[in-house]
Structures are given as C-alpha cells and as structure tokens.
Structure 1
C-alpha cells in the first residue's frame, strides 16, 4: 500500500462522522434533495465504469467521469462526451450517471482510491472535497501551463476559489430569480414591465395580485421553504451564513444566521402567509413550479436553470416575466451561484489526471458552453460563449434569460456573494428549512427558530471540524 493510499484512507476514516451527517440529509430540499438549482433527476441507470491501470504506449487514455445529471441534462452530458471523444484519438471519456448529487457523493466516499478520474459535485460539497484528500486542485493544472481563466465569469469562479486557488472547474451554474405572471400584473393594475425590486414591494404586489373568484383563490405569491433561498436573501443583505468571512478566511466554527438580516427574511415570509397574499406549498420548488404554471400563484422564486421548464409548463396560458431577487429597501447586495463543478481526483494515474484536464479545458470552450447552456438552461461559465450565434438566437427567443445574466454580473463579488463553505451544508439546509416552516406555521418566532437552528448547525460544524484537524 502506498503512502498516498494510506493517507487517503486515514482521511476518509477521520471524516466518517461528517459522512454520516451528510448521508441522511438529502430528502427534503427545494428540489427534492438533489441540488441548489433544479439540477439532477431523471431515470438513467447508474454505473461505475471499469477502471484501468496506466495506459501502455499508443493506447487511448481512459477518463471515467461520474456525474449527477439525469434526464435531459444527462443527455446533454452524453452528447458533449461523445463529441469530445470524436474530436481526437488520444483520450476516451466514459460518462457514468451516479444518481442525485447526494447519492453520487456517497458513492465517491465509498469508492475511495477506486473512484473516478473526474467527479461532478454540487457547490455545497466543496468543503468536503477539499478536506477529503482525494483531489488534485484545478489550479495545479492551470499553473503548469499558464492557462488563462480570464474569460470565465468572475462571479462563478469566485465560489470555487479558496485561498486564491481554483479547486474545481465550474460546470453547471445558476442563480435564483423571480418568475411572475405578466397577465396577472395587468389585471391587477400593475406595470408588467416594472416588477418588484424590494422585499417590501414584493409583499405589496402579492397583496394586489391575490384574488378569490368562484371559490378559487389565486395567490399573489408562493415561495418554497428552501434553504438555498434563505442563503440568497442573506447574501443580498451582505450578511454571512457562518463566521470567518463565510468560512473563506478560515474554516467556519459557528453559524451566524440568528441576526437581524436572518430574522427579517423569516418575518417577511411569515407576514405574507399570515395576510393570505402567499400560500404555503411546502419545501419543494417542483410544487411551486406546478402552481405557477397552472396560474394558482402570480409570483414565485426559482432557479434560472428551470426557465425552459417553466416556459414549457405555462405554454400560451399567460406571459412570463422574470426579475432580480428582491432585497430590503435601500440594500443593493448580490446573489450566490448554485449548481456544481467538476473535480479531478488524485487516486488515478497522472496520465488520467492530465487527460481529464484536457477534457475539462475543452468543456469550457465557448462552443461547448453555448451548446451546454441551450441544452440545459444553465449559464455558460465563459463570457465568450455569448458571442456564439446559436446562443444569441436562443436568447432572442427567450428574453427572460437576460435577467439571469444581468443579475449575475450586477452582483459584486464579496465573501457574502461567494457563499458560505462548510462541510455539513446539506444538513444545515434541512435545519434552516425546518426553521422556515416552524415560523410560517406560527409555531415559533423568527428569533426562536433561528436561535435553535443556529445552535444545531454550529454543533454539526464543530463535529465536522473535529474530524478534519
């Protein structure tokens, strides 16, 4: 057994507690416990792919790529992999669907040194990946050939950059936006080209948009009790989720959500439920998507990645508008990206790692990024992708997507908008979601719910940190 293998095994053993915390927390998130952005799903068959030893001279280098993209997103992954394999004769990439993000990460943990060469991991898994000892930072490959990342979107790179080093390459990226029914706006005497900009305006509009007719109520708003949304509303207020600059200056040691900013979020949600201008549809964004598409709610929050899904669901029933995430009056913060990135593991031979890097570079070229965006709805991670004619035409047909690009670029990169980094994030999201529900159901005040959630999240962080000293 090599020194690296022994070291990796020790690290993974040390992380056993953190693994158990992560394992049980994938069931109730805003997208069914799969991602921050409406990501994985579908019914593709999972598989590991047979690993191989270092290739002999003249053989193609095989790169096994584990991912969590199901359905049409999985088809987009397969398309790009086949295109890459056909574009050259030195490397063959084998894509293998591993289930949801949570399931894929559990398989990686179980595989250890027998894992893939390239791995897709949701953004909130970043702290674990860095601590795992299983990865070669992307920055190593960037530095080795002086590869330029200047054309990549800085707000996207910001999430995956730690201590000035890029650890993984952004792959599928999105942000939350407001979706609204322009026809309902007109009917309520509101300007459909002037959506609410603040949380206060959002509530006011929700009241005006709510109406009951023939026993049926159309509510002004419906927002899923989703932890990702809570994080976003902290960021737009410039507030942190955890200490040590959101875990960016040093490892986080405690949660910092029971603050005036955090309490304002829950009080705002509670007020809309209490006066009947918003309806409680639970934690899943799939339920708010369905209600919006059916015309039961006039405004909702969701990922930019589901724009095509929502437009398809609405059809010609009404005109869909999109807007920036609302923020408190007088505050002009930004949003945090969601989605996932790809990581090169260090458990495979150097030749495979280098081959994986060649595939990653190809994947973020403008042409591939434009195709990926069109096929999935995710952002291109490269600015030059927007110069591709096919993407220009696609956006011309879906002007709502412009909102997402403008919001991303209008968000100043700070430690708040970079997003928090903790090893127990999936667990933390569920804790926050439970706090959100307790408040809107009238069981607890915002301060009570957040005080308890903050203490519970802090306990999880402390336990995780004990395993990664």
Structure 2
C-alpha cells in the first residue's frame, strides 16, 4: 500500500464486519434542502447520551449553514454498525469513536484522510497526544481528539480513617497500596480494600494496564498494523497479575470481582464498603449525585516502587470516507477542538482534550479535576488494529489471561496465563 495515500475500502472489510454482526443498515447520508443548510449525520455511542446532545445543540446554535443531527447507537455494537454502514455506503458523515478503535477504522478505509486539513489547525500540538496518535495511521491523520477520559484510583476517605490510614496520604507504591487494602479489609466481613471488574476486558484495559505501565512494562509494542504482543515476555505484566492475585487470594478484594462484568463496581463503591476502586472521570458526577454520603478522593494509579500511570481514554472525531459533505463535516471538527468549545464540553462531564484547558480552567475546579487532567495529559493508550479481539472482547486473550491468572487456584496460574495469552494474541495478529 502507498503509505502516503489513504487505505481503500475492500471486500475483506465488508466480510469481516458482516461475519461478526449481521445487521440491516439503513442509509444515513447527510443532506439538505436546496439553498438551505447542509445537514450532517453524526453517530455516537449510547453511553455518550449524557453530553452529546448538548454538544450538537451548541454547534447548531452557532451555525446557520451547517446543522448536525445526532444518532445514538447501542455501545455494544457501535463498531460493527459503523463499519458495515460505511462499507455499504450507508454511513454517517461524522462519527465519535472510542479512541481504541480508531486505528482499526483508519486501517480499514472507513475514515477520510484529514492530514492536510489538520495541518492548518492553529494549535494541534495543544491537543491530547494519545488521542492524536490514535488518529494517525501510516503517517496520515484520520481523526482528531474530541472528548477525554483518564483512569485514576478512587478511594473512600471514611474507610481510610477507620483503618487508621491518613486520607491525605493515599498509596504511592504497591506496598502501601496492598497494606491499605489489608487494613481496610480487616475492618469487617462486609468491607474490602479493593474492587475491580474481573470479567470485563475493556474495564481492565482501562485500569490494569496502568499498573503494568507504571511498573515499566507494556502489553503490545510497535506501530498499529505492525504491533506485536509482549504480555508473555514483559515481567511487568506478571508482576501486575501477581499483585491482583495476592489481593484476591488474601481476601482483600470484594468477592463480586470474579464475576463482575463492570455492572457492579460503581454501586459497590457507592455502598461505602470498598476502600479503593480504579475508574474514570465519568464516576465523579455519578458518585456525587447517586451516593452523596461517600467521602472520596482520587489519586494516580501507583507503580511498584513509586511513579504512576493512567489510561488516556475518550473519543476521537472523524469524517467517514463515504460522506458527501466533507467540507461541512470539517466545520464541526474544527469547531470541536477550539479551546472555548473544549471548555464547554468539559463542563458536561468529560476531560477536555485541549491540554491548556485541561491544565487550566478544568483543573481549577478542584483537586479531583486537576488529577484527571494530569492523568489524561501524561497517560497512554493501546495502539492496535485488533484492539477488540485482543483486549476488549469478553473472550479475548487479555480477559482470559486475567480470569485464569488472578482467580486460578494453581500456583503457576499467572505463568501459564501470560504464556497462553501471548500465543493467542500472536495468532490473532498473524491473521490480520
């Protein structure tokens, strides 16, 4: 493939997407009455319902010549629906895409090349670097940062006090982290030091990967499209799994962890019976609104001897390759990354992807916001064209590795789990 040219859609993409999702897709191309404004279709995931409509309303109020209509799709099949729709020339003009999936779509020809357009932006360097990296494939750009997320360790200050721990001094390394979990668990049967969603691959990409990165390790290496797994080679992966295994087998983790697919975690923390729980910015307003009696703080996810790391999450925004209104669609993208718009967006519960806004007005709201801003700016993501198959899917090698390594009874569970995951990931990537 010519590295300076955008990849083309082909039969392989259509076949791959149809194999995982047999859907009846209706046409969604944007339009407009002759002489009226151009109307664009924007697709986003249903779990963005809390803020996407307000973003679209703000854009529409500020523009007469371009209007955007929002369509929210179920998060569980957004990737398949978008891919099949665009490959069938029935996709939207714009898509807000979980940044972990952007390399896949860029490599598949689903997204329009915006390299020259983006080079003309006045302050691209001020946008989130992980988001920009995810939107770049073979030295061409296919997406811009849009909305942000970042993983942190949330902790219950009341339980810290009851356990004789200083809530102003949360854990800074794994020894302090394990000791805090142990002392909180000693408070009684219904209280546990830690919780994580053990049956959720995507949750643990967001929250376990930072433990590995903070230990100096990695899970995949190389550019997207040429990446290789290292889960079975990097000792930091084994160290992180051994940490989780100790928490589980010593009874320091809530028993629900082994079966939790992500649905129970926030409620368990909100019940006041969990000492520490890793999650993201979305939980701030949820905890305050639903569990106002929980006195909590946030702190970076620590490394074994200090240091910290975070998963930079959120969405990139992209124009689809089949859009007939790419100039108008660029109007929305260019607007969305302006500092004033990013400040408005951040007020809706997301971390701004404009770093000057994140480290400025957003951080000034309080220490939790400042910590999230630092986590986003200094965080990392996983770059892979097979992220779902490798990590997010419930049957992925990553999810299986955690289930077997952490919850397995055999003393060599971790060693076997990482070796099996290495082989399975390599096999997935070899198939393309």
- Given that 2:300 and 2:310 are in contact with CA atoms closer than 8 Å, whether structure 1 keeps it comes out as no
Written as runs of structure 1 = structure 2, the 5 A alignment for 1:219-258 is: 219-225=192-198, 226-228=203-205, 229-244=207-222, 247-248=223-224, 251-252=226-227, 254-258=228-232
Q: Which residue of 2 aligns with 1:94?
A: 69
Q: Which residue of 1 aligns with 2:108?
A: 132
When residues 324 and 424 of structure 1 are mapped into structure 2, their CA distance, relative to the original with a 3 A threshold, is closer
Aligned mates of 2:276, 2:208 — CA distance in 1? 17
- Given that 2:212 and 2:218 are in contact with CA atoms closer than 8 Å, whether structure 1 keeps it comes out as yes
Give the 3-state SS of the residue equivalent to 1:298 in structure 2: strand
Q: 2:296 aligns with which of 294, 314, 320?
A: 320
Q: Which residue of 2 aligns with 1:354?
A: 327
Aligned mates of 1:380, 1:94 — CA distance in 2? 23
Q: Which residue of 2 aligns with 1:345?
A: 320
* Greater Cα shift, 426-435 or 337-346: 426-435
Q: Which residue of 2 aligns with 1:432?
A: 398
Q: 1:82 aligns with which of 57, 65, 83?
A: 57
Aligned mates of 2:147, 2:26 — CA distance in 1? 21
Aligned mates of 2:174, 2:136 — CA distance in 1? 30
Aligned mates of 2:74, 2:330 — CA distance in 1? 24
When residues 460 and 22 of structure 1 are mapped into structure 2, their CA distance, relative to the original with a 3 A threshold, is farther
The offset of 1:251, in angstroms, is: 1.4
Q: Which residue of 1 aligns with 2:374?
A: 406
Q: Which residue of 1 aligns with 2:95?
A: 119
When residues 17 and 269 of structure 1 are mapped into structure 2, their CA distance, relative to the original with a 3 A threshold, is farther
Q: Deviations over 1:22-69 (max 9, x none)?
A: 659xxxxxxxxxxxxxxxxxxxxx99675356875x332121111114
Q: 2:12 aligns with which of 5, 11, 14?
A: 14
Q: Unpaired segments of 5 or more residues in structure 1?
A: 1-6, 25-45, 412-416
The offset of 1:387, in angstroms, is: 8.6
The offset of 1:343, in angstroms, is: 1.1
- Given that 1:171 and 1:381 are in contact with CA atoms closer than 8 Å, whether structure 2 keeps it comes out as yes
Is 1:294 equivalent to 2:285 in the alignment?
Answer: no
The aligned length equals 410
Give the 3-state SS of the residue equivalent to 2:384 in structure 1: coil
- Given that 2:359 and 2:374 are in contact with CA atoms closer than 8 Å, whether structure 1 keeps it comes out as no
The offset of 1:207, in angstroms, is: 0.5
Q: Unpaired segments of 5 or more residues in structure 2?
A: 1-6
Written as runs of structure 1 = structure 2, the 5 A alignment for 1:175-194 is: 175-194=150-169
Q: Which residue of 2 aligns with 1:63?
A: 40
Q: Which residue of 2 aligns with 1:383?
A: 355
Written as runs of structure 1 = structure 2, the 5 A alignment for 1:390-469 is: 395-396=365-366, 399-411=367-379, 417-429=380-392, 430-444=396-410, 445-463=413-431, 465=432
Is 1:284 equivalent to 2:250 in the alignment?
Answer: no
- Given that 1:49 and 1:64 are in contact with CA atoms closer than 8 Å, whether structure 2 keeps it comes out as no
Give the 3-state SS of the residue equivalent to 1:220 in structure 2: strand
When residues 443 and 432 of structure 1 are mapped into structure 2, their CA distance, relative to the original with a 3 A threshold, is farther
The offset of 1:223, in angstroms, is: 1.7
Aligned mates of 1:440, 1:288 — CA distance in 2? 17
- Given that 2:155 and 2:296 are in contact with CA atoms closer than 8 Å, whether structure 1 keeps it comes out as yes
The offset of 1:446, in angstroms, is: 0.7
Give the 3-state SS of the residue equivalent to 1:362 in structure 2: helix
Q: Deviations over 1:373-424 (max 9, x none)?
A: 222x2111113435987x577x24xx3222111233445xxxxx34332324
When residues 137 and 234 of structure 1 are mapped into structure 2, their CA distance, relative to the original with a 3 A threshold, is farther
Aligned mates of 1:158, 1:50 — CA distance in 2? 28
When residues 178 and 77 of structure 1 are mapped into structure 2, their CA distance, relative to the original with a 3 A threshold, is same
When residues 365 and 21 of structure 1 are mapped into structure 2, their CA distance, relative to the original with a 3 A threshold, is same
- TM superposition score normalised by structure 2: 0.86
